[in-house]
Amino acid sequence: MTVAVTTIGEASGDLLPLEIVERKGLGHPDTICDHLTEALSQELSRSYREIYGHTLHYNVDKALLWGGSSDPRFGGGRISQPMEVYLAGRAIVDAAGRHLPLDDLVKEVVRRWFARYFPLLDLDRHLRTHCLVRPGSADLASLFERHGDGAPAMANDTSIGVGFAPLSSLERVVLDAEHRLGEMACGDIPAIGRDIKIMGIRQGRKARIVVACALVDRHIPDLQAYLSTKADIAEIVRSVACAEDLDADVLVNTADDPDAGSLYLTVLGTSAECGDDGQAGRGNRINGLITPFRPTTIESVPGKNAVSHVGKLYNIAAGLIADRVARLDGVAEAQCLLVSEIGHPVTEPLTVNVRLRLSDAGNVKDYQAAVSAIVEQELELLAGTDLALANGSVAIGNWPLRRADSDPLSSRNTPHRNS
C-alpha cells in the first residue's frame, strides 16, 4: 500500500475569507433518522454476536420520519397525529437454525431512543414504527462471509471516505453552540427543545449565526416568556462565539411573527411533531457538521454495517487519520482521502492520499514515515470498529472521532508530535 503525502495548496478553514458551516441538532428530523439507523445498526451487531457468535451481513441505512400534527399553545398543547418512523434496509434474520425477531427488535430500538431523548413523548400515542427491513442480496452476504478467521473483511463497495482536522473556529462554534443549547434543554432551560439547527457564516472575524430552535410550549406561559427564552438562546450562542474570538451577530427563530401569533412553539421540542419530515443521510457528516467548503462525500455513514461497508469504515478511518496526523508536531492541518475496491480487503485501499498544511517551511515528504504508520495502524484497527462503536470508544456524528480507549498520538515511527 502506497500512501501519497501531498501539500494542501488552497485556503481552507480559518484561512478562508468567507466560510459557511451548518449543524442539524439531535432533534432535527433528519438527525433523528440518522440516530435511529445507527442505533439499529449497533443493536443488530450486538444481537448477532449474542445469538450467532459473530456479526452477520446487514445494512439498515435507510429511514424516513413522516411528521405528525400538533396544536402547540402557551402553557401546553397537544399532539393530534403521531409521528411515523419507517426503517428500511437489508439484514439476515435466519441462520444456523436460529431466528432473529427483527420486527420486535426494530420497534424496541426506536422506542428506547425516543424514551431517552424525548421524555415528553408518549410512546404509545405519539409514535408509530414500521419495519421495512428485508433479507439482503446473496452475493453481498457471500462476500461478507468470504474472509476467514482473523483475516480482514472484504470491501462490499467501491467507495470514498474523507476526513479533515482540526476544526476551524466557526466549525467549533456551530458544534459547541448546539451542544451547549442541548445541555441547557436538559437542565436550566427546559423550554429549549432538542430540534436545534445552526447556520454560521464568517467573514474575517465577524460571524452571523442563525439559530432555529423549537421551544417547548408547556414551559412557555406567554409571549414575554417566549421572547425572553429567545434572548437567552442568543446570549448562549454569542458567548460560545466570543470564546473563539468571533464577533457574532446571533439571530434566533427569524421566521417568527409575534403580531400574527406565528412562533416556533412545539409540544415535544421537535418540528417532526407538526409536519416536518426527516430522512437519513440528508444531514450532518460523520463529524457532526455540514461543511461545503471542506472535502466531503455524500456517503451516509449511520446504519451501515461496521465490518465490511467501506462507506462507513473509510469515513471513520479517514477522520481518525486526519485527527492524528494534524497533531503531529509542525502540522497545521491534515486531510485524508481513502478509496476502496469492492472484493478487496478493507485494509488494502485502492488509493490513500493524506494532504498536509505545515505550520512552517518544512517539507511534507519528511512526514511520509509518520503518516504511513498512522494510516497502517488505523486500517488495521478497522477489524474492531463494530465493537468500538457499540462500546462508545469511537462515536460518529460528533467531534473528535478520536478513540477513547487509546492514546490518540500513539503509532509506530511518529517522531513529530505536539506536546
Domain shared by 263 and 300, yes or no: no
Sequential pLDDT tens for the chain (419 residues): 899 999 999 999 999 999 999 999 999 999 999 999 999 999 999 999 898 888 888 999 999 999 999 999 999 999 999 999 999 999 998 888 888 899 999 999 999 999 999 999 999 999 999 999 988 754 555 656 655 556 788 998 999 999 999 999 999 999 999 999 999 999 999 999 999 999 999 999 999 999 999 999 999 999 999 999 999 999 999 999 999 999 999 999 999 999 999 999 999 999 999 979 999 999 999 999 999 999 999 999 999 999 999 999 999 999 999 999 999 999 999 999 999 999 999 999 999 999 999 998 889 999 999 999 999 999 999 998 988 888 888 888 887 777 764 443 333 333 333 32
Q: How far is the C-alpha of 279 from the C-alpha of 276, rounded, in Å?
A: 10
Per-residue CA distances from 190 to 120, 225, 398 (Å): 11, 12, 23
Helix (H) / strand (E) containing 317: helix 310-326
Domain shared by 11 and 84, yes or no: no
The answer to whether residues 23 and 395 touch, using CB atoms and an 8 Å cutoff, is no
> What residues does 196 pair with on adjacent strands?
213
- Residue recorded with cell 469504515: 313
The widest CA-to-CA distance across the chain, in whole angstroms, is 68
Class of residue 135 by CB neighbours under 10 A (exposed 0-12, middle 13-18, buried 19+): middle
Domain shared by 122 and 187, yes or no: no
Of 240, 274, 308, the residue that ends a domain is 274
User: DSSP letters along 24-93, please?
Assistant: E-TTSHHHHHHHHHHHHHHHHHHHHHHHHSSPPPEEEEEEEEE--EEE--TT--EEEE-EEEEEEEEE--
CATH of the domain at 316: 3.30.300.280
Domain shared by 163 and 297, yes or no: yes
CATH of the domain at 106: 3.30.300.10
Parent domain of 126 = 29-145
Is there a domain that residue 414 lies in?
A: no
Domain shared by 258 and 223, yes or no: yes
Domain shared by 261 and 303, yes or no: no
Q: How far is the C-alpha of 59 from the C-alpha of 156, rounded, in Å?
A: 11
Amino acid identity, position 297: T
Is there a domain that residue 140 lies in?
A: yes
| Strand 351-358 relative to strand 3-7, pairing | parallel
Helical segments of 329-407, H only? 368-380, 385-391
Is there a domain that residue 120 lies in?
A: yes
The answer to whether residues 376 and 1 touch, using CB atoms and an 8 Å cutoff, is yes
Domain shared by 254 and 120, yes or no: no
Domain shared by 121 and 52, yes or no: yes
